[in-house]
Structure formats: structure tokens, C-alpha cells
Amino acid sequence: MPFTLETRLGRIRVERRVGYGRLYSISMTLLSLAIALLVAGLILASLGLDPVAAFQVIFGVFMKPSLLLESIKQSIPICLAALGLSIAFKMNFWNIGAEGQLYMGMIASTGIVLLHSYYGLFNEWAIMPLMLLASFLLGGAWCLIAGALKARLGVNEILPTLMLNYVAMLVVEFLVHGPWRDPKGYGFPLSIPFPDYAKLNFVFGEPAYTGLLLSVLGAAAVFLLLEYTKPGFEIKVVGQSPAVARYAGIRVRRTILLGSFLSGGLAGIGGLSIVSGIIGRLRPGASPGYGYTAIMVAALAGLNPWVVIVASIFFGGLLTAGGALQMSMGIPRAAAQMIQAIIFLMILVGEFIKRYKIVLEKPGVSGS
Amino acid sequence: MTVQVGTVYLLASLGEIYAERSGILNLGLEGIMVMGAAISFIFTLAYGHLAAILASIIVGILMSLILAVMAIYMRLNQTVTGLALTMFGLGLSGFLASPEIRRIILLALNPSLPERLLAIQEAPKLPEIPVPGLSEIPVIGCFFRQNVLVYISYMAAPLMWFILFKTKPGLSLRSVGENPAAADAMGINVFKLRCAATMISGGFAGLAGAYLFLGFQPFWQEGLTAGKGFIALSLVILSTWNPLKAILGAYLFGGVEVIQYRLQLFGLGALSPYLLAMLPYLIAIAALIAVSIESVRKRIGVPASLGIPYSREE
Amino acid sequence: METLVELRGIVKKFPGVLANDRVDFELRRGEVHALLGENGAGKTTLMNILYGLYRPDEGEIYIRGRRVELRSPRDAISLGIGMVHQNFKLVESHTVLENIILGLRENGLRIDFESHRRRITELAERYGWRIDPMARIWQLSAGEKQQVELLKILYRGAEILILDEPTSVLTVQETRRLFEALRRMAAEGKGVIFITHKLNEVMEVSDRVTVMRKGKVIITKDTRETTKMELANYMIGRQVIFGRREASSKPGAVVLKILDLKVLGDRGYPAVNGVSLEVRSGEILGVAGVSGNGQVELAEAIAGLRKPMAGRILLNGVDATGMDAGKMIELGVAYIPPEGNKLGIVPEFRIVDNLFLKAYRYPPYSNKILLNWRRMLGKARELIEEFGVVTPSVFSKAKSLSGGNIQRLILARELSGIVGGAPRLIVAAYPTKGLDVGATEFVHDLLMRYKEMGSGIIFISEDLEELLLLSDRIAVMSGGRIRGVLAREEADAEKIGLLMSEAAIQAG
């Protein structure tokens, strides 16, 4: 029991709820969402902006097909990164480095494209599989740095993964300002635009559909891993208690290495979806914080891979809405980021309310 | 220069040391700092420096209160909550300090503000106040040609060390972070004390943000902290949760950044500026590794209950 | 004699449990009052209420005749009540002095280290304790830690002292010294409440005794007017039969051979310091001794959880020194860890997951990569039936089980041989600690059954009675060494106690 408050009206107690149904859980989440939007609306209103109009723009994103498609496109890197994070978080490995792992995935994909276009090393049909492989490996390796530090030296992973985000961004800056700059780009810090065979548009020629397919495949893979495989079981035991895992004869260090690698690898593929699906080339700031949004998505989805897909489309929609708000109402883009964070905070509070109930005891009931 | 950059880290880590000593990991540091910077930007334009500093401290405390309620009373995961707070701070600061919204706020705060100030992206820097006599000493004189917040940080570090290790509230605070059940059994209110420590960290983080903007680079850009809050978090570990050691650590990181600027100036063009900019982050990781190896050898460690919510009957 | 404490009609409910059911209790000035009962009888809950940690749902509390409302330990402390908890509530990394003055409310914010140091030393000397106020808690022995806990209370001038199972971590000598100190405190006019489940101690130290069972007070009596047998009957609620169990089997080949084993403890010095042992199949080797003398480290080394720094471990003649837990499992070592609810299960996992915490990775329950849930579920249903785990389904979370059922679940996993036949070697560390009589008997029966099936068993316990009941041989352990091994015919409580205390004399 977290606390008891004594007031003149009686005792206010907070009690753990013994169990609750799925319907109750979902309705509490929706309620939290509604409260979050209300808070966001109040902030907008207090600055003299019209919250109703703003929400019309936001929800309009999910109604209009072209904007919905854009939202799905935006959701793909979020979804893949969040799927990776689900693995890490199940392992109680606080990978805050999805952003950096996304950038490493972008670097790997771009590297393959450049190798082909400068040296013609590969067949065109082999490019996309190679890009997938390379982005998975490099993203995984980036996360593996923190994983190895934890497994070998006991360094807590939170700060190293965070620091590596900044390092990864600077690597991209270095590359596009230097060796990878497009010679025909008028000196702008951009890589060459990707040729068609390096783009994610196999399904109906549309990156959103191709990406959605990628997301679903990723979710299925994560689901299978965690529910039906030995390494998945080991990841979950390690996440619950490394001491029990050791007792059960699980090789904890190896599991941490594997889990962190897979986690980063999925984010790496997310990076591929940015350069091949959304932008079509590498540039600095290619991710407007997808990796951080992915943390919210993974947490809000309760690490359930299928819910991750839905939640990332919602957050992708909010990102799209950010742009629409600026265009139509002159509300700065950061508003979308702020609303995201408010939703995150409110749903966390909702988690608390789900787990506990507040009881008011009238005086005289006890102690008499 | 070293002192100027280091003060950002020093202020932020001093408060965080208190929070972590009490068992609360405030990962919202980065978000609170950037909010502190944004608020000090707006309030300096509207009312001047003093109001700006006070406002950023208050906003820092208010933001940390969100964390306190969620992590201490609701017992939600501190990592997730802290990150949520950082994202909130980054979003809200970007929103409030954006030209459109800033204009609305400035006019509301001070309707007589001239048009020129409504649109500019920068604010007057805090003046440097040389200490008579001391500032003329060679070599160390530079420590005494700083602005008022730097002097405050000089005084705060030893004072906070003394409170933490030599007074009863300090002892209670450390005990709550090590073994809250033991403290509770001796009649200490674990919840209130943790809440207070979190608010102290929030206040200092707000101040650090104000200093970063007003005392160091008074030109607004979104997310101008660029991970400085996270570096301060590694610094707290490097200092082994000791306010005096935090001074050394802060100036070490300050020094690293200065070296990075210098190397660029001295035409080390072969080394790309982007690679040099990685230095602080890489050194922070190196510091974490060093401390981790060291703490296994000696018995200096994390406050034993860091990150673990406390409740009595479960 | 003045009444210091009076509790009237205390009721305390926890979800699903009535921990205290209209309890009355009285403590007088100058007495040592034993509060006797089995685990789960509600003794600790009652005392936590008196100490302000829990709030009673009903009932009244009178201190020195005045009705009081205890909202927190702070209220209790200010009324002169102090409590030594079973698990010490000390800040390990702080000094003795810092622990003692923690939470003191005196004038001034600054700590006057020098004057506190002097006063603490004086107070300690009054009870014959020698303790360095500047030492860190983690450097102290269990007995010294307990002295710090008592000093914490006495330093605040408490008159009402509550000690929860204070002797469970103490050696014979330390216990004797504690009792002397308690008698002196009572003679000074304080009141001491002594929670225990050990009859000998009640007879030795107390003036009066209150017996609790299942949340209720059964009786309060003068200690002089009662006997151990009578108290045991009140405590358990039926006639207790103290008898030995006879087994038909004869010990067979050597299963485990340990040679001059040295194992590092958590504090960085050898916790096991040169142990040599032999366990045969069909034999129970009891390990007696006060806990914290290297027993758990020894068990963990055998289970592959701790790397030995020297010596050898042979399993069925195979050198298994330094192998990890996974290898040891494959060699047929089953390990029932102490505090099973923490180390033996994953509380958030379902029962089926917990049953297959080790076996999931072996055929037929999985192939190279994939798990076969259908097989595991089928086997899990059989196991909960066979081992009598009471649960609505194998999908329930393990944390929903009671302590006894958790232990059954652990036994089912470790003993059923789902990895491949009955285990060759069973290492059971305090398997009955905290269990009620029924669950304890179940564990005993099970160990006997596996002994007859030919497993070699190492049975670590603090409880001499059950050791004498089950063991074929008893090894007495203290200070990380085996002080002697007694055959069942020659073993009795006195001889074991002698071996323990001889060691203590040598060491001290």
C-alpha cells in the first residue's frame, strides 16, 4: 500500500486492486487519453489558441486517406524501433538508444547504396536484402555496445545507450558533410538520392504499404520469439530476475548480449525504413525523434507487439498532425511533441489508477 | 571557459545528487534543464535577469513535482517516468519558446514590450562581476571573473556537501536512499523526504538551464541542452554521489568541451568538428565504465535503493 | 506491578487473511514476556501494530494506562516503544553511530559526532557490549548488528522493547549474552516482549508467556507454572509426536565428494573455508549450524552458482569443479534454495513457466529453438496434481500462491525429474523455514521418499529437531568449516551444540 492520508473527513487509503478485466483496462487507457487531450486543449486555450480547431486538425489526419497514409509511413520506424524495445524492456534492459540505432540503420543502408552506385559491387535485386541485413547488423551492434558493457562490466545501460544516440547523430553529420556528400548536391549536407531499387515501394508502389508489411512481419517475429522460443523464454526470465535466471541454469550474459543485439537490430531496420521509405536519402536530423517516440509506444503498448503496431500508427498520426497544425493554424511543430508527452504521462498515471483503487473511510468505522 | 561550461554540469548534478541519494533517479533532468532555459529566455525579455532566474527555478521545482508524485506516491517506474518528463520538457520548451507562442506569452507578461524584443532569438547575457582583488591573481584569477550564478555554484557545492554528510537531515536523506525501511522504522517520513530531494533536484536543474542560456549561450534554439542533462547524470555517478567530487567532474567535462572548441580553432581541420563533438559523450561512457570497474573493487556504490519505490505493507 | 502496554481486541485483516482476531495482550514493567507461536500465527503483525507500522482495523491500545493512537513508528518511539525486527533494519553502508542517531530529534541540525560517540560507548558498556561506533554495519557480525539495533532503541530511552525472533541469527554464546542483557534491562524496570517459536528459549528467559495460534491468543501464563510439552500443545493445537523416522534403505555409492572446498562469500572473504564432505546415494546428510556460517555458500557452490576458489567437487566420480548451474542441472543436481519465494520462482510468471524454469530447454519440451507448450502444459497439470499444489489453474501467476504452495511448486520442479529421472543429488537449503506444520511434514515425507528412491540428499537446517528426525549423519558447520560429523546413533542436541560452541570458542 503506497500511502494513507488522514483527513478530517476520514482516512483516504490507496489499495491494490486484486485483479481487473481487459475491458476495464482498455477503458481506463481511453479515459487517460481523453484527459491528456483535455490538458493539451487547456494549454492551447490558455494561450488564446482554438483547441477545438486544433483537435479537428489532429483527428482529421486519421480521416483523410492521404494523411492516414502519411501517418502509417511515419509509424514504420517508430513501430520497428518499438518492437525492438519490447524485447529489451522484457529483458529489463533499458535501451534508451533506439534513436541512435535508427541512425546506424540509416548509415548501413546508405552505405550499401553508395557501394553499389560507386563501385557497382552487387546485383540490383540483391541490394534490398543486403540493406536489410546491413541495417540489422549495424543497429544491433550499436545496441550491443551497451549490452556488452552491462554483461561484462556491470555498467547500467541507460546512460550509455543515451550517449550513443548523440554519437550516432554526429556520425551521420560527419558522413554527409564529408565523405558521403552528394557531389551534385550544391554542397548541401545530403547523400545522393536513393535509386528506385533501394526504395521501399514493392507493395502497390507505396512505402506505407511496404512498411506496414514490414511492421507486421516484425511484430510476428517478436511475438514468436517471446512466446514460442527458448531464447525468448530466457530473455523474459532474465528480465524478471537475473538471480533466478542464473539459478535456472540460464546463461545470463549471453542472453543479455543476444537480447540487446536483436533489440538494436530491429531499430536498425527502422532506420532503413526512414532512408528508403520516408526521405529517400541520408541527411542530418533524418529522425525527428522516432526513437524516443518508440519508447513511449513500447511502454504504452505494454510491450505487446501487436498493440505496438496500432500505437505507432497513432503516434505517427500525431507527428503528421504536427505538420498540419503548423500549416493550417500556425501552431509550432513542437506542439505535437508536447501533446505526445502529455498523453504518455497521463497514460502512465492511468496505469497507476488501474492497479490501485482509492478508498475513503468515514471516521468511526475503524478503531471503534 | 572551463568554469563557464562546467557550471552547467555542476548545478545540474548537485541537485541530482540529492535526488539519487534519496533513492530517486531523476531522468527528467534534461527536460527540466531545457525548460529552465526556455523560461529564462522568455522572462529575461519580459522582466529581466533576476525574475528569469527565479522563474526557471520555480518551473524546475514544479516539473520535478510531477516526477515526485508519479514515482514516489504512485510508485511508477522511475526510468519511464523520468523519460516521459524529459520528452514533455523538450516538447513544451520548444512550443513555448517558438516565435509564435513566445510572442503571445511575452505580450501577456508585459504588454509594453517593444516590438523589437518580441521577435529576437537572443537575450542579454548575465554580466560578469569580477571579485575585487581575487580576480587579479594570475592563473586562478579567471575563477573570480564570472557571473553571479557561477559564484552561487562555488558556494552551493561545499554547503550541500556539509548538509549531506554532517547534519541530521542529510543523514536522514542518505538513509532513505539506502534502506527506506530502516529509516521508516526510525520514524522518518520516507515519502516526504524523497519528495523534497526530488524538488531540490528540479530547482537546481531549472537553475542550470537558466545558467546555460543566460550565462553561456544566450541564443535560443530548440533542444539547446543537447544531452547536457544526461551528461550531468553520468557525472553524478562519476562523483560517487559526492557534491565536492562533482566540482572536479563538472570542470573535467567543461574542460573537454573547451578542448574541443580550441582544437577546432587551431585549424585541426583534418579532424572533423563532428567527430570532435563526440568527445563529451564518449568520455561520459568511459567515466561510467571506470566507475563501474572501480565500484566492484571498492565498496563505493549506488545508493542501495535507487530506483526502487517504497511502500510499507507490501 | 505497573502495566506498560495493554492491547484490547486488536483485529487486523490482510487481503484473504485474518492476521489478528480480537487479540488481548499485556506487558508489565520489569518482565520479559515471551510471545510464542508458529510462523503465521500473527505475532509479528501484532507487534507491528504496537510499533505503529500497521494500523489495526479494530481494537484499542493503552500505553501506561493511557489510550493512544499510533499512526507511525514516530508516535511509538515518542511513547518509549522500540522494536528490533527479525530482518535488521540497518543501513549497511553507514556507521554504527549514524544508524543509532538516525531520526533523532534534538536541538540543532548539525551532528555532534564526538558527544554521540561517547554516549553510545557508555551505553554499550552498561550491557557488556564492546562495539566501535565508527565501524560500518556491513563489517559487523549478526550478533553485533543486533546489539546496534538494541542500542538504537535504548539510546532513545525506550522502556518497552520488542524483539522479533532475536536468536535466529545468533550462536549459542551470543544468545546467552543477549539473554543476560535482556534480564538486566528487565531488572532496570523496562518491559521486554520476546517473539519466538522456540520453546527452550521461552523457558530460559521469560517471566510470562503468551501463546498465539492462527491469529488468536490461546493463553497467557507464568512461565514457572508451565512446561514445554504444555506450551507445544497450545502452540500447535494437537499432541506433538517427537519420533524418528526409520528408513529401510541402505546408503549406496558415493554421489557427491567434496575435497577441501573454499568459496568466497559476498563480502569478499572465504565463507566456506576448507570443507570436505561425502554424500552417498540413499542417504540424508544433515548440515547443522547457525545460519550465515557458510551453509548457503556451500550449497550454491554445489549447485554451480558460485565458483569455488579452491578445492574440488566430484559428482558420481566426475570432476564438476567450477561448472555452471546449467551443467550441474544436467549432472542431476537439484537445488531447493533458501527463501524460495525470492530465488526459487518468478512471481510474475505463470505456474507452468515456473515448473519449467529449468526443463524448458530439454527435449521433449523443446527442440533446438521452439518450445512445446502443449507438452509442458500436460506435464504441468500432472505435477500440480502429484505434488498437491493448490491453484485454480496452471495459468495462475506464482505470486498468487501461499508460501506452502510455492515450496510445493519448487519441490515439484526440482524433484520430479522432468529433466531426466529422479535427481542424483538434492541440495535442500532450509526447505521448511517459514512453513506451517502440515507443509513441513509434506517436505519431510518427500525427502524421505527420494532418499529411498536412491537420491543423495544434503539437508541444511537450523532446526535441530528436524535434523535429528531425518538425517542419517549430521555435519556441524560453523565459521565456514565442518566441525564434526555425527552418525545418527550418536547424535543429540547436546553434542551438536557442543561442536558448534567449541568452534565458537576456538574462533573467539
Write the pLDDT tens digit of every residue in A217-236. 999 999 999 999 999 999 99
Query: Which chain B residue lies closest to A173 (C-alpha atoms)?
Result: B274
A305 and A340 co-located in one domain: no
Chain B positions in Cβ-Cβ contact with residue A16 (cut-off 8 Å)? 314
Chain A positions in Cβ-Cβ contact with residue C361 (cut-off 8 Å)? 230
Q: Is B301 in Cβ contact with C103 (below 8 Å)?
A: no
Q: Which triple of cell numbers denotes residue A171? A: 556520425
A14 and A76 co-located in one domain: no
A40 and A123 co-located in one domain: no
Cell 522518518: give the residue.
B188
Taking the Cβ of residue C300 and every Cβ of chain A, the question of whether any pair is shorter than 8 Å is answered with no
Given this model, what pLDDT does residue B313 score? 57
Chain B positions in Cβ-Cβ contact with residue A292 (cut-off 8 Å)? 83, 87
Chain B positions in Cβ-Cβ contact with residue C51 (cut-off 8 Å)? 185
Q: Is C373 in Cβ contact with A228 (below 8 Å)?
A: yes
Instruction: Identify the chains in contact with A, defined as 3+ C-beta pairs within 8 A.
Output: B, C
C374 and C449 co-located in one domain: yes
Confidence of residue C134 (pLDDT cuts 50, 70, 90): very high
Residue A79, in any domain of the structure: yes
C500 and C455 co-located in one domain: yes
Given this model, what pLDDT does residue C503 score? 54
Min CA distance, C345 vs chain A (Å)?
Answer: 7
Min CA distance, B254 vs chain A (Å)?
Answer: 17
A133 and A277 co-located in one domain: yes
Chain B positions in Cβ-Cβ contact with residue A348 (cut-off 8 Å)? 70, 76, 80-81, 84
**Residue ranges of C 252-291 with Cβ closer than 8 A to chain A:** none
C371 and C478 co-located in one domain: yes
Q: Is B168 in Cβ contact with C109 (below 8 Å)?
A: yes
Query: Which chain B residue lies closest to C156 (C-alpha atoms)?
Result: B186
* Cα gap A237→C325, rounded to integer Å: 15
A25 and A116 co-located in one domain: no
Given this model, what pLDDT does residue B264 score? 74
C79 and C187 co-located in one domain: yes
C175 and C263 co-located in one domain: no
**Residue ranges of C 37-76 with Cβ closer than 8 A to chain A:** 55-60, 69, 71
Q: Is C371 in Cβ contact with A241 (below 8 Å)?
A: no
Minimal Cβ distance to A237: which of C335, C357, C366:
C357
For the beta carbon of residue A249, count every other beta carbon within 10 angstroms.
22
Residue A60, in any domain of the structure: no
Q: Is A156 in Cβ contact with B84 (below 8 Å)?
A: no
C305 and C168 co-located in one domain: no
Min CA distance, A155 vs chain B (Å)?
Answer: 6
CATH number, domain containing residue C461 = 3.40.50.300
C219 and C78 co-located in one domain: yes
Residue C36, Cα to own-chain centre: how many angstroms?
A: 16
Write the pLDDT tens digit of every residue in B30-89. 999 999 999 999 999 999 999 999 999 999 999 999 999 999 988 898 999 999 999 999
Given this model, what pLDDT does residue A368 score? 30
Min CA distance, A35 vs chain B (Å)?
Answer: 16
Domains of chain B, residue spans: 2-127+143-297
Minimal Cβ distance to C89: which of B167, B168, B179:
B179
CA A75-A78-A84 angle, to 5 degrees, is 140
Residue A59, in any domain of the structure: no
C185 and C276 co-located in one domain: no
Instruction: Identify the chains in contact with B, defined as 3+ C-beta pairs within 8 A.
Output: A, C
Query: Which chain A residue lies closest to C330 (C-alpha atoms)?
Result: A249
Residue C118, in any domain of the structure: no
C477 and C384 co-located in one domain: yes
Q: Is A348 in Cβ contact with B81 (below 8 Å)?
A: yes
* Cα gap C210→B241, rounded to integer Å: 48
A164 and A230 co-located in one domain: yes
C301 and C421 co-located in one domain: yes
A144 and A74 co-located in one domain: yes
Residue A19, in any domain of the structure: yes
> Domain span at residue A119?
65-320
A87 and A191 co-located in one domain: yes
Residue A56, in any domain of the structure: no
Structural domain total, chain A: 2
Check if the beta carbon of residue A161 is closer than 8 Å to that of residue A94. Answer: yes
CATH number, domain containing residue A302 = 1.10.3470
Query: Which chain C residue lies closest to B312 (C-alpha atoms)?
Result: C53
Please give the mean pLDDT across all residues of chain A.
Answer: 88
Given this model, what pLDDT does residue B53 score? 96
Alpha helices in C159-264 (DSSP H): 172-187, 199-205, 228-236
Chain C positions in Cβ-Cβ contact with residue B304 (cut-off 8 Å)? 92-93
C248 has a pLDDT exceeding 80: no
Number of helical (H) and strand (E) elements in chain C, helices listed first: 17, 20
A232 and A354 co-located in one domain: no
Instruction: Identify the chains in contact with C, defined as 3+ C-beta pairs within 8 A.
Output: A, B
Taking the Cβ of residue C328 and every Cβ of chain A, the question of whether any pair is shorter than 8 Å is answered with yes
Confidence of residue B268 (pLDDT cuts 50, 70, 90): low
Structural domain total, chain C: 2
> Domain span at residue C170?
3-90+158-236
Q: Which triple of cell numbers denotes residue B201? A: 533536484
Check if the beta carbon of residue A342 is closer than 8 Å to that of residue A39. Answer: yes
B198 has a pLDDT exceeding 70: yes
Write the pLDDT tens digit of every residue in B111-134. 888 888 888 888 888 888 888 878
**Residue ranges of B 219-278 with Cβ closer than 8 A to chain A:** 222, 226-227, 230-231, 233-234, 237, 272, 274-275, 277-278
* Cα gap C42→C213, rounded to integer Å: 7
What would the CATH number be for the domain defined by B2-127+143-297?
1.10.3470
Check if the beta carbon of residue A91 is closer than 8 Å to that of residue A238. Answer: yes
Q: Is A338 in Cβ contact with B74 (below 8 Å)?
A: no
Write the pLDDT tens digit of every residue in A116-130. 888 877 788 889 999
Chain A positions in Cβ-Cβ contact with residue C69 (cut-off 8 Å)? 367
Residue C167, in any domain of the structure: yes
Query: pLDDT below 70 — which residues of chain A?
Result: 1-20, 358-368
Min CA distance, A234 vs chain C (Å)?
Answer: 9
Of C173, C202, C236, which residue sits at a domain end? C236
Q: Over range C332-343, report the average pLDDT.
A: 87
A267 and A303 co-located in one domain: yes
Contacts of C12 (CB under 8 A, 6+ apart): C18, C19, C20, C42, C45, C46, C49, C54, C56, C57
A134 and A45 co-located in one domain: no
ipTM of the complex: 0.89
Given this model, what pLDDT does residue B144 score? 82
A189 and A229 co-located in one domain: yes
Q: How far apart are the first and last CA of chain A?
A: 23
Residue type at A247 in one-letter notation: Y
